[in-house]
Amino acid sequence: MQTTLTHIGTATMLVEFGGLTFLTDPVFDSAPAEYVSGPVVLRSTTEPAIAASDLPSFDAVLLSHDEHPDNLDAAGRRLLEGKPVITTESGAGRLGGQAVGLAPWASRTLTVGGASVIITATPAHHGPAGDVVGFILQVPGEETALYISGDTTYESDLDRIGEEFSIGVAVLHLGAAKFAILGDQMISMDSANAAKFTISLGTSTVVPIHFSSWEHFTETEDEIAASFASAGLTDRLKWLTPGVPRVLDARPLGAR
């Protein structure tokens, strides 16, 4: 299934799939910026590659969670108005409007202008940071799916994804995010576990995002590349250049 991804920054992308265009985790505030949340301070370092005012038309928003400014900031919130938003159950309650909450493994079909995409929520594990979901996208009648992990570490329940779905492209939120108040606990996936997860997913194509533009990320592109090389998986990595669309036509391993 052909997919076009345009990385805008952190976990923000335009995703063209099945005839629809999705915006993920919209973050469009000017940078650098600082956000204080209780004992934690988040600092952004890089401007989005595309300004909110320059975005093309999109059909819906896939929002992994609404409570953190590196996944949804003030400028991003304005983009939710009048759009279907697929997110967590608790997030839908906070956002209102056209927000729809999905529990992990629940599905909803979105149809716009004759094109339909099935959206299935997947579990995500973001430490003590609240509810998060990932997303699997499928076109009705097509087997190959797109997976977007959301902010998560790799836990055993995620192995169900590769067991039940044929993942062509997996977009993984990485960066090994840490905060001093949590000690060594990671609240997003590190590259070593991302390599293990890639094998579990059975996908030929992994797109890393969510590892730059904020101070709380502890792994860069170099660490990600090294971990995948060590696992013999370098050929599965596909990198995005911010602001530049990339077309991927990938299939699960073993598919014809």
- DSSP labels, 93-159: HHH-TTEEE--TT-EEEEEETTEEEEEEEEE---TTS---EEEEEE-TT--EEEEE--S----GGGH
What would the mean pLDDT of 96-112 be, rounded to a whole number?
97
C-alpha 173/C-alpha 208 separation (Å) is: 6
- Owner of token pair 């202008």: 113
- For helices 221-230 and 191-201, angle between their N-to-C axes, nearest 10 degrees: 50
Structural contact between residues 85 and 45, judged by C-beta atoms closer than 8 angstroms: no
Q: How confident is the model at residue 255 (pLDDT cuts 50, 70, 90)?
A: low
Q: What is the pLDDT of residues 46-88, one digit of tens each?
A: 999 999 999 999 999 999 999 988 999 999 999 999 999 999 9
Domains detected in the chain:
2-236 (3.60.15.10)
Which is nearest to 68 in space by CA: 6, 5, 158, 130? 130
Q: What is the pLDDT of residue 172?
A: 98
- Owner of token pair 């920054």: 9
> Which residues make Cβ contacts (< 8 Å) with residue 18, sequence separation at least 6?
1, 115, 116, 117, 137, 138, 139, 142
Which is nearest to 86 in space by CA: 56, 69, 67, 106? 106
Which is nearest to 65 in space by CA: 10, 6, 142, 20? 10
Structural contact between residues 203 and 252, judged by C-beta atoms closer than 8 angstroms: yes
φ, ψ of residue 211 to 5 degrees: the values are -135, 10
C-alpha 232/C-alpha 229 separation (Å) is: 5
Q: What is the pLDDT of residue 256?
A: 44
Structural contact between residues 187 and 127, judged by C-beta atoms closer than 8 angstroms: yes
Q: What is the pLDDT of residues 115-171, one digit of tens each?
A: 999 999 999 998 776 799 999 999 999 999 999 999 999 999 999 999 999 999 999
Radius of gyration of the chain (CA): 17
Q: What is the pLDDT of residue 37?
A: 77
Q: What is the pLDDT of residue 254?
A: 65
Q: What is the pLDDT of residue 84?
A: 97
Q: What is the pLDDT of residues 188-237, one digit of tens each?
A: 999 999 999 999 999 999 999 999 998 899 999 999 999 999 999 999 99
Question: What is the reported pTM?
Answer: 0.95
